[in-house]
Amino acid sequence: MSEAAENVAAQPAEGSIIDTRYWHALDDGRVQCDVCPRACKLRDGQRGLCFVRGAEAGRIKLFSYGRSSGFCVDPIEKKPLNHFLPGTSVLSFGTAGCNLACKFCQNWDMSKSREMDTLADSAGPEDLAQAAERLGCASIAFTYNDPVVFMEYAIDAAQAGRARGIKSVAVTAGYMCAEPRAEFYRHMDAANVDLKAFTERFYYKICGGALAPVLETLEYLKRETNVWFEITTLLIPGENDSDGELDQMTLWIVENLGPDVPLHFTAFHPDYKLRDKPHTPHATLIRAYDIARSCGLKHVYVGNVDDALRSSTYCAGCGERLIERTRYTISDSKIDHGGACVQCGAALTGVFDGAPGHWGTRRVPVRLGGFLSR
């Protein structure tokens, strides 16, 4: 048994500070968190970069268990996931804190929050599962900030969801160490992994992280799990959108993950600490789309723009438009209940359970406390 595995997590209670499992003691009296490659080395009273994990009483604790920055019912396509129970709704929630420091973060008010009052809403794992069921959601998504930093809470919520037939979705940057990663993904049904760029320079300079561990997570998901996953790359003008980089990235995906993994290119808007860059032109998304298709990827999408042609899903067998989409609205579907093309019978890669749903573009904020008391 590893040092980390010997650290037994205490039984969590809603809204409490809990013990965690993945850490070890250092010779100099500090403790090191082993959840992500940042490997924060902390003395009692100090918090890690994510701020929600920190050292107390010679152990690493999670300070945000059972607390959320808010809940919302979203279309699953917003995560984005286009091949996972299309057209269904998902109960989205996040906490606070993140283990990367992306200068372009589009959720920075939550991910960079150091104020626990950001976590105004609270709900235990069973509350979340019950709410998802009552709201008619097919899944729960751990999103807004990276669930890596609140993995214990996410795992407990996923287990409670599974017991009610609700699936779990991680929206993550994939910056995680091997041992906690294996535990985390045992409980997930789907993931959208941000592949922020394909250079170590970008990860180091813009995100304060590293590319290699993210690629390891993607390879791990492909080779060692049944988790359905899709990839998202936010294209930032002049930073990660050159032909050469897009060519290398999409070739790597084809060679290492296979041509069936869906890839989403989304448009950047100036935010947080990266306000000197322009919005991503639609033409850049089209160029990236064309490069990815020419490198062999079968399912490529553009996001944050109106582009029905490149937001729809096509049959890899006969080319038929199988799911016609504009942003998050499905206007037509030509797949059977198991996800096969009704024209040629080729199976569409993904997770399907009946005909696509009709949730559409609605985004419905939910106060769980009030909802569950009714």
Smallest separation, CB 278 to ligand SF4 (Å): 31
Look at residue 264 and give its three-state secondary structure: strand
For residue 296, give the nearest of 254, 256, 261, 265 by alpha carbon: 254
Q: In what order do the strands lie in the sheet with 31-33?
A: 23-25, 31-33, 41-42
Q: Give whichever of 99 and 143 is closer to ligand SF4, judged by the CB atom.
A: 99
Question: CA 256 to CA 251: how far, in whole Å?
Answer: 8
- Report how far apart, in Å, the C-alpha atoms of 56 and of each of 43, 51, 211, 317 are: 8, 13, 31, 56
Task: Please identify which residue in 49, 251, 274, 372 interacts with ligand SF4, judged by CB under 6 A.
Answer: 49
Question: CA 51 to CA 53: how far, in whole Å?
Answer: 6
Smallest separation, CB 174 to ligand SF4 (Å): 13
- Report how far apart, in Å, the C-alpha atoms of 277 and of each of 173, 266, 271, 295 are: 22, 15, 9, 28
By beta carbon distance, the residue nearest ligand SF4 is 48
Task: Map the footprint of ligand SF4 across residues 53-82, applying CB under 6 A.
Answer: 53
Q: Give whichever of 36 and 211 is closer to ligand SF4, judged by the CB atom.
A: 36
Question: CA 285 to CA 269: how far, in whole Å?
Answer: 13
Q: Does 33 bind ligand SF4 (CB under 6 A)?
A: yes
Pairing mode, strands 121-122 and 139-142: unpaired
Q: Give whichever of 31 and 300 is closer to ligand SF4, judged by the CB atom.
A: 31
Task: Map the footprint of ligand SF4 across residues 77-136, applying CB under 6 A.
Answer: 99
Segment interacting with ligand SF4 (CB under 6 A) among 32-40, 254-262, 296-304, 363-371: 32-40
Smallest separation, CB 51 to ligand SF4 (Å): 8
Q: Does 178 bind ligand SF4 (CB under 6 A)?
A: no
Which tokens hold the place of 308? 């029905």
Task: Please identify which residue in 4, 31, 48, 112 interacts with ligand SF4, judged by CB under 6 A.
Answer: 48
Smallest separation, CB 152 to ligand SF4 (Å): 11
The runs of H, that is alpha helices, within the chain are: 108-111, 125-134, 151-163, 178-186, 200-202, 212-224, 243-257, 282-294, 308-311, 368-373
Q: Give whichever of 35 and 291 is closer to ligand SF4, judged by the CB atom.
A: 35
Q: Does 39 bind ligand SF4 (CB under 6 A)?
A: yes
Q: Does 209 bind ligand SF4 (CB under 6 A)?
A: no
Segment interacting with ligand SF4 (CB under 6 A) among 11-19, 35-43, 107-115, 347-355: 35-43
Q: Burial level of 6, CB count in 10 A (0-12/13-18/19+)?
A: exposed
Q: Burial level of 25, CB count in 10 A (0-12/13-18/19+)?
A: middle
Segment interacting with ligand SF4 (CB under 6 A) among 47-55, 188-196, 268-276, 277-285: 47-55
Task: Please identify which residue in 101, 149, 292, 351 interacts with ligand SF4, judged by CB under 6 A.
Answer: 149
Segment interacting with ligand SF4 (CB under 6 A) among 29-37, 71-79, 156-164, 303-311: 29-37
Footprint of ligand SF4 on this chain (CB under 6 A)?
33, 35-36, 38-40, 48-50, 53, 99, 149
